[in-house]
Structure 1
Amino acid sequence: MAASMLKMVLSIATTVLLTLLGGSPAMAAPPRPADPVGIDVSWPQCGKTLPSGLAFAIVGVNNGLANTTNPCLAAQLDWAETTIKKPQATAQPRVALYVNTANPGLAGSWWPTSNVYQGTTVANPYGRCEGKNDQACAYIYGYAKAYDDAVVRGVNDPGGYFWWLDVETGNSWQPDKVANRADLEGMTAYFKSIGAEVGLYSTGYQWGQIAGTVPSSSNLAGLPSWLAGARTLNGAKSNCALAGLTPGSRVTVTQYVSAGLDYDVACK
């Protein structure tokens, strides 16, 4: 008790002295708000308890391959809609989607033989698809996979979502980088045709291996980039300063891994 009284007397004396000298007692800095991070989830998180109170979520539509459906898609979309912060806390939409991409060529379980898909004749900048492993058919394949993602997988109001194209070397690709770009351009063309926004997820290395250098005339040019590869929050923040994946692209999201989950930073 005597020690407490002494501390109180000294505190009062210090305050009086600082006041007389024209100063003021030092105040503790206000606590720094938590970083508004997001998360991306898909089939590997099926049945797992996911965190709440995050700034945004990006939900995977597929089950690891471009022609499959995430079995937990509906449940994960419900989780995202109910647990992600409201109102929108960053420049990213509260809930976005990502899809697996691939260009399997003739090795795929399905490959187009014309420019027609689901009754629609697709305008093809690479010419006429005739069932060959070429750029024209790759474009239609990409268009078809995007159509399936939007129409078949069970996504309500697909035009209202932002769609990220997940471009990784773990999926099937052709040695022809122009054909791989055509595939991604076909996907982009379909999503844009329904009024959706599109972005690209990859690392600089993987993108270079798959798609190479994108010409400014491509519809991939200028799309937002979501970069993977960081192991920490600070590393992800630093990656916001990296170059985008295509000409005119800006890095808007970066990913890092923590406790077995993929978290994301919305770049400013």
Structure 2
Amino acid sequence: MAASMMKMVLSFAAAFGLALMGGGPAMAGPPRPSDPVGIDVSWPQCGKTLPTGLAFAIVGVNNGLANTTNPCFQEQLSWAESTVSQQQLTTQPRVALYVNTANPGLAGSWWPTSNEYMGTTVTSSYGKCEGKNDAACAYVYGYAKAYDDATLRGVDRPEDYFWWLDVETGNSWQSDTTANRADLEGMTAYFESINAGVGIYSTGSQWSKIAGTVPSTSNLAGLPSWLAGARTLNGAKSNCSLAGLTPGSKVAVTQYVSSGLDYNYACK
């Protein structure tokens, strides 16, 4: 799922962002009708003809960065709502959304200087944000980006969607994994405040580098995992048996690449 750097390279197979898996993605051909699969799309697919007959779709709301809007979001969301099977064929929602994430710190175009954002006092266990490059302000930043995603990107009734957090090393992160984790906790807190479901998209290696060890007390613990990295449908099925990204997490979705598009398998 990813309109971030991984999204861009996954869509252009020659530079597959998960090169650690070795080489470019194998072209697995169109999904078999006996295997209901989904797809994720975002800005790299703007203007492209997309397949039909899918079991579910996940649409990116950003334009590759956490503070941007996918220029064809409305078009792609309409495509998903109209072409995805009206029947519930898998364990996944028919249409879900995903957002790019980042923790740019003071290098960002905007960074919070207090715990106030859009009339809300954002509270967390990290304390008071005073404009520093620390976990307290990173939490507020994450909360603010999630607020923007839900209210400024053209999403009607954001509480009705499941939101995936796209966590990849291609975006801007601090070396402080605690601050990065706080950022993602802030995003999760906002989405949960509107009663929306939340999950995490990444790979084990990228997640470990960005977020480090997640304590069981974190609101990230137990969130569903969406794992990237497979190059065939069979590989995606196999990845369902991998460990989730956080304590208590189960792998709910796995991604694979076919004919230059990102397909997804819903784990049982």
Runs of 4+ in 1 over 4 A off after TM superposition: none
Matches within 5 A, 1:185-224: 185-224=185-224
Describe the SS at the equivalent of 1:206: helix
Counterpart code for 2:81:
E
| 1:103 maps to 2:103 | yes
Matches within 5 A, 1:2-21: none
Please report how far the alpha carbon of residue 33 of structure 1 lies from its aligned counterpart in structure 2 after TM superposition.
Answer: 5.1
Please report how far the alpha carbon of residue 86 of structure 1 lies from its aligned counterpart in structure 2 after TM superposition.
Answer: 1.1
Equivalent in the alignment of 2:85: 85
Counterpart code for 2:168:
E
| 1:169 maps to 2:191 | no
Counterpart code for 1:114:
S
CA distance in 1, matches of 2:72, 2:125: 36
> Residues 202-235 of structure 1: CA distance to partner in whole angstroms, max 9, x if unpaired?
0000001000110000000000000000000000
> Any unmatched runs of 5+ in structure 1?
1-31
Matches within 5 A, 1:1-268: 34-268=34-268
Q: Percent of pairs identical after alignment?
A: 81
Please report how far the alpha carbon of residue 34 of structure 1 lies from its aligned counterpart in structure 2 after TM superposition.
Answer: 1.8
Counterpart code for 2:153:
R
CA distance in 2, matches of 1:160, 1:123: 24
> Any unmatched runs of 5+ in structure 2?
1-31
Q: What TM-score do the two structures reach when normalised by structure 2?
A: 0.88
CA distance in 1, matches of 2:127, 2:38: 41
Q: What TM-score do the two structures reach when normalised by structure 1?
A: 0.88
Describe the SS at the equivalent of 2:90: coil
**Number of residue pairs matched?**
237
Describe the SS at the equivalent of 1:106: helix
CA distance in 2, matches of 1:59, 1:83: 13
> Residues 55-76 of structure 1: CA distance to partner in whole angstroms, max 9, x if unpaired?
0000000000000000010000
Describe the SS at the equivalent of 2:109: coil
Please report how far the alpha carbon of residue 87 of structure 1 lies from its aligned counterpart in structure 2 after TM superposition.
Answer: 1.4
Max radius of gyration: which structure? Answer: 1
CA distance in 1, matches of 2:90, 2:207: 26
8 Å CA contact 1:115, 1:124 repeated in 2: no
